[in-house]
Amino acid sequence: MKIVVLAGGISTERDVSLSSGRGIYHALKSNGHQVILLDVFLGLPDAKGRLEDLFEADIDWSASIRDVSKKVPDIEQVKALRPDCKSLLGPNVLELCSLCDIVFLGLHGSNGEDGRIQALFDLTGIRYTGTGHTSSALSMDKNITKQMFKGRGIPTPPSITIKKGESFELPESIGFPCMVKTCCGGSSVGVYRVEDVFCLEEALRQAFSYENQALIERCIIGREFSVAVVEGRALPIIEIAPLVGFYDYKNKYQAGSTIETCPADLPANLTARMQKHAEEACAAVGIEGYARVDFMLDERSGEDYALEVNTLPGMTPTSLMPQEAAAVGCSYEQLCEWIIQVSLKKYE
């Protein structure tokens, strides 16, 4: 097949997306496909000749991509590379996507997982991997996601959502320690653990530097897990145990920062319950194809709490979904192929 892998963009998860895109690109090439890897924002401004010929060109489209750094990328520097830009899509992106059999979305965060790209592709008849635009938009907003969880009876930590400049009182059901999160962020960018009221103000100030709405959530003390769900069925659970702190941006993408165990060491009844909650969480927001659900397990009560749904799970060398797939004998290359086949079912 002719495939465009879309990555990059201008979200805070840009570097993670590029790393995912590089891995997907090489996997699909090794599977025998004709593949182009594009930065959705920068595009291909210097393309010459017929665009369809690029699928057969002898080009390493991943040559300039580096490993994920410890710091969140400077998005203003990226935007400066297209000072006259009027669109998220870079030059020739839509044209190349319209020429391929399917677009493999390696995008993460806003302008990738929020449903905008998906809606555009739906309108223009371009096939793509992952869930549709509505479920993408629902899952991107943690506040909406949690409301959907509650409606289905899926346990999720108590929280409140506040807007920038809005006064509030912290309910007793949350208390300290608590977590402050941007409503629409990802990769733990804009996520802070807060121990007291003095730290809360600073955490909110930082969260509001990313967007105008933030979630304050009860901090669940215990173990952290994630569960990928493909076609409504949960894969083996993976446990995430950072060596220092919590599962933040650095611990997610710097090799050796976190101990990951898959399948997780859990009693059979708890494994089944968490997997069931993961499947129900995906159903609650209308996931088509595949996604990944993050959980905390309360060390005192033994209750598992669903935190959020990731509609385009990471595919970097340290990402969780590839490890879960490997636990059932599915290689990275096979996983990429599986994602394509599952995604194509939307169009049958």
Q: What is the mean pLDDT of each run of 10 residues along the chain (348 residues)?
A: 96 91 97 97 91 95 83 84 87 97 94 92 97 95 94 96 90 93 70 90 89 92 97 97 61 66 98 98 97 97 96 92 97 98 95
Predicted local confidence at residue 189, as pLDDT = 67
User: What are the angstrom distances between the C-alpha of 23 and each of 51, 106, 189, 197?
Assistant: 23, 9, 22, 42
| Per-residue b or e along 69-99, where b marks 16 or more CB atoms closer than 10 Å to that residue's CB | eeebbeeeebeeebeebeebbbbbbbebbeb
Predicted local distance difference test score (pLDDT) of residue 110? 79
Our CA angle for 149, 284, 269, nearest 5°, is 70
- pTM value? 0.90
Q: How far apart are CA 138 and CA 311, in angstroms?
A: 10
Task: Tell me the two tokens of residue 32.
Answer: 């025998």
**Residues in contact with 267: Cβ distance below 8 Å, sequence separation at least 6, in sequence order:** none
Rounded Cα distance between 234 and 67, Å, is 29
- CB–CB of 143/213 below 8 Å? yes
**Secondary structure class of 124 (helix, strand, coil):** helix
What region does 335 belong to: left with phi over 0, alpha with psi -120 to 50, or beta? Answer: alpha
In single-letter form, the type of residue at position 85 comes to C
**Could you list the active site residues?**
13, 187, 253, 292, 294, 308, 310, 314
- State how far the Cα of 166 lies from the Cα of 159, in Å rounded to an integer: 16
Four-residue CA torsion sign, 145, 191, 176, 163: negative
The amino acid occupying position 101 is: D
State the pLDDT at residue 247. Answer: 46
Residue 29 belongs to what H/E stretch? helix 14-30
